[in-house]
Amino acid sequence: MNTIDGGKKLIILPLFLFFQCQSYSDEQSKTFEKHISDSDEVVYDSDALHPSCAYLKNGKIRGIKFTAHPECGDYTKRYFFSDQEKIEKVAIHKDFYNSSCGETFDSVYVVDFLKDKIFAASGFFQEEEIENGMLNEETLIIADYRKEIRTWKGNNRVSL
């Protein structure tokens, strides 16, 4: 009898942790959608396999969304910008479910520049603060993309 109860617990716990990470990812996705909802223009790069888009309001970047590694699973980075185009937050969702790409995992990282903190959640642990070694790396990545996004306007442009 204890073996069956223990087995049920072993099944329920991973499911609970999976949905907890999925919930955190969904929360970040909804927060991004709300953040960019007042955008008046969307510009795209020309990469059909790894699409990226920037959301603009009055010509200023409000948000950027990058999608990568579709052959491995889902990998999405969402960048949040202030009205002055200052980076506020980066939400990174990595869900690699194809074992041919290495170890499978599902994790969400949030780099919060306003709080100068990084939070992470995965199927193995709840949202918690982690060391902030990614802050400088993300700042450099955005500096490069700010220039590149200006060239996207001529490629693919959608006014909202």
Question: Tens of pLDDT along the chain (160 residues)?
Answer: 444 455 544 444 444 444 444 566 678 789 999 999 999 988 887 776 677 889 999 988 999 998 877 677 778 889 999 999 888 988 888 776 667 666 656 678 888 888 888 887 775 555 666 665 555 555 556 666 666 776 665 445 555 4
Q: Is the dihedral of CA 36, 93, 125, 135 positive or negative?
A: negative
Count of structural domains within the chain = 1
Inter-residue contact 89 to 117 (CB < 8 Å): no
CA-CA distance, 79 to 111, in Å (whole number)?
Answer: 9
Pairing of the two strands 105-112 and 60-68? unpaired
> How much is the pLDDT for 21?
44
CB 67 within 8 A of CB 52: yes
pLDDT for position 37 = 93
What pTM value is reported for the model?
0.69
State the residue range of the domain holding 109.
2-159
Q: In Å, what is the CA distance from 121 to each residue of 3, 85, 96, 143?
A: 30, 27, 15, 27
